[in-house]
Structure 1
Amino acid sequence: MNHPSGQPQNELPWSAGFCDCCSDLKTCCISYWCPCITFGQIAEIVDKGSTSCGASGALYTLIMFVTGCGCLYSCCYRSKLRKQYNLKGGNCGDCMRHFCCEPCALTQEYRELQNRGFDMSIDLSMAALEEHV
Structure 2
Amino acid sequence: MSKHDLNDPFADPPSSLPYEHRQHEAQQAQRFPPASPSAPYQSFQPPFKAPMNTQGDPRNAMGLPHDVDGRRDWSHSIFSCFDRPETCCLSCWCPCVMYSRNKSRLHHLSEFNVKHPQGGDSVSSDCFLHCCLNTVVGLGWLLQIGTRGATRDRYKIQGGACEDCVSIWACNPCTITQETREIELEEQFSQEGLPLKSRRSEA
Query: Which TM-score band applies after superposition, normalised by the shorter structure?
Result: 0.7 to 0.9
Q: Does 1:70 align with 2:130?
A: no
Q: Which amino acid aligns with 1:41?
A: R
Q: Aligned match of 2:150 in 59, 80, 96?
A: 80
Partner Cα separation in structure 2 for residue 27 and residue 85 of structure 1: 21
What runs of 5+ residues in structure 2 fail to find an aligned partner?
1-67, 112-119, 192-203
Shift of 1:82: 0.5
Q: Which amino acid aligns with 1:99?
A: W
Shift of 1:81: 0.9
Q: Which amino acid aligns with 2:78?
A: F
Q: Which stretch of the first structure deviates more once superposed, 24-33 or 64-73?
A: 64-73
Aligned residue for 2:106?
46
Partner Cα separation in structure 2 for residue 16 and residue 109 of structure 1: 9
Q: Which amino acid aligns with 1:111?
A: R
Q: Alpha-carbon deviations, 1:79-107, whole Å to 9, x = none?
A: 11111111111110001111111000100
What secondary structure does 2:75 align onto? coil
Partner Cα separation in structure 1 for residue 84 and residue 102 of structure 2: 16
Q: Does 1:90 align with 2:160?
A: yes
TM-score (norm 1): 0.75
Closer, same or farther in 2 for the Cα pair 1:84/1:101, shift >3 Å?
Answer: same
Aligned residue for 2:80?
20
Q: Does 1:107 align with 2:167?
A: no
Partner Cα separation in structure 1 for residue 157 and residue 178 of structure 2: 12
Partner Cα separation in structure 2 for residue 31 and residue 37 of structure 1: 8
After TM superposition, the runs of 4+ consecutive aligned structure 1 residues lying more than 4 A away are 49-53
What secondary structure does 2:128 align onto? helix
Shift of 1:57: 1.3
Shift of 1:52: 4.9
Q: Which structure has the bigger radius of gyration?
A: 2
Shift of 1:38: 1.0
Aligned residue for 2:93?
33
Shift of 1:17: 0.9
Contact (CA 8 Å) 1:44, 1:56: kept in 2 or not? no
CA RMSD of aligned residues (A): 2.1
TM-score (norm 2): 0.51
Q: Which amino acid aligns with 1:108?
A: Q
Partner Cα separation in structure 2 for residue 16 and residue 64 of structure 1: 27
Q: Which amino acid aligns with 1:79?
A: G
Higher fraction of helix: 1
* Percent identity between the two aligned chains: 29
